[in-house]
Amino acid sequence: MKIKKAIQIQLGIYRRLLRNELPAMVFLGDGRTATLGDEVDPVVDEFITGMRALLDLPQQPAVRYSHSKCRICPYDAHCRPDFEAKEDISLLYGIHGKAAEHLAEAGISTISQLAMSTVESIPDVPYLKGNKRKHRAILQAGSFLSGKVFQLNKAALPEGTWIHFDIEDNPLTPDRERHVYLWGFLVPAYTRENFDYVWTDDETGDYDGWLGFLQKIEEYRSNYSPLVLAHYSNHEKATIRQYAERYAMKNHPTVTWLLGDDSPLFDMQNPVLDCLVLPLQGYGLKDICKHPDLVNFQWENEESGSQWSVVQFNRFRLETDLAEKQKLKTEILRYNRDDVIATRRLEVWIRKLFL
């Protein structure tokens, strides 16, 4: 099995820093693990030599912004002012660093220049081809500069009673595929008290949790027809598919309904991506909801997030003190409750926008 080079380097360096002879263990997310030992030394040496050469340069090398890498990089505060001062096009959502390079060669090197461009004046460059993408890039530049929201199309939202849905799963599930420890819902009238969920304490309850989820869906189906099960991103649907395969239940009537042509599942990220251009660098649920000029919904626990939830759940699994265990569970439930309240607020915000 081939482990990504970046992970080989990262773990190889940790082993070296720790002066540890033990192999590093990689959790592959599907229940399997892999180990990395001395065999990764050549790529680690190559990386360290390359880094030393960079450090010896008299000037900082030219770089482009990458939202996924820079926002979690400890040097973000150092690099960002320079990107912003230059109005680097790679700061924009959907603009790859390579596209920014090619646009600069074509004379479009700042966000202002891109905002003033026309679709016809932008050449086809890698990662930015076709009128639709170019039109979006121009609006994204305008939105970045002005803070305005642009509407591309009218969002078509399905009719019915909406129930908001979000899951929390554990990529560190020992010796098996990831376990969904929490299937969370927000039902009408959409207040905090209307949070509903299926919880399992550990992976031994995986099957029961899945059955509990299917039962909940059937309850909602009979109480709220037609039902819309709204979620943000494809993760919920993909997870239902994985569970159906895991327990050989693809033909279960609830599963065929959830995954079939008349599915009640509705991914709210689709209308956002298809219909809106927002003054954001990422189109995740938290990016949109936390922004004070957009949805402006704040999670009760500012530190919470999906990775935070995984850490709390793994602490919960190991905790032996019952009071502490209950406290951890309550915090995880609150976080998931805020996630589904956020998708509800997003729904309301989108409806207002398209009135």
Which residues here bind ligand SF4, judged by CB under 6 A? 63, 69-70, 73, 75-76, 79
d(CA 125, CA 130): 9
Shortest distance, position 80 Cβ to ligand SF4, whole Å: 7
Least spacing, CB of residue 320 vs ligand SF4, in Å: 40
Strands 195-199 and 276-277: unpaired
Gap between the Cα atoms of 311 and 328, Å rounded = 10
Closer CB to ligand SF4, residue 64 or residue 337? Answer: 64
Q: Which is closer to ligand SF4, CB of 66 or CB of 330?
A: 66
Largest Cα span, the chain:
69
Q: Least distance (Å) from ligand SF4 to the CB of residue 261? A: 43
* Helix/strand/coil for 150: strand
- Give me the least distance between CB of 133 and ligand SF4, in Å please: 24
Shortest Cβ distance from residue 87 to ligand SF4 (Å)? 16
Q: How many residues does the chain have?
A: 355
Smaller CB separation from ligand SF4, 70 or 285: 70
Tokens of 300: 């009760």
- Segments in 153-303 forming alpha helices (H): 206-223, 235-246, 253-259, 269-275, 285-290
Query: Could you tell me the CA-to-CA distances from 180 to 27, 100, 216, 236, 237 in Å, in that order?
Result: 17, 40, 15, 10, 13
Shortest distance (Å) from residue 4 CB to ligand SF4: 17
Q: Is 266 helix (H, G, I), strand (E, B) or coil?
A: strand
What sign has the CA pseudo-torsion 145, 148, 154, 159?
positive
Q: Which is nearer to ligand SF4, 51 or 73 (CB)?
A: 73
State which residue, 95 or 272, has the beta carbon closest to ligand SF4: 95
Q: How far apart, in whole angstroms, are the C-alpha atoms of residue 70 and residue 62? A: 14
Under 8 Å between Cβ of 181 and 206: no
User: By CB neighbour count within 10 A (0-12 exposed, 13-18 middle, 19+ buried), where does 260 fall?
Assistant: exposed
Between 26 and 91, name the residue whose CB sits nearer to ligand SF4.
91
75 vs 303 by CB, closer to ligand SF4 = 75
CB 104 to ligand SF4: min, Å: 16
**Distance of closest approach, residue 143 Cβ to ligand SF4, in angstroms:** 22
Residue 34 or 79 having the CB closest to ligand SF4: 79
What the block records as the tokens of 323 is 């009071």
Residues 34 and 19: their CA atoms lie apart, in Å, by: 20
CB closer to ligand SF4, 63 vs 275: 63
Q: Which residues pair with 267 in a beta bridge?
A: 231
Tokens representing 115?
């905002």
Residue 68 CB, shortest distance to ligand SF4, in Å, is 9
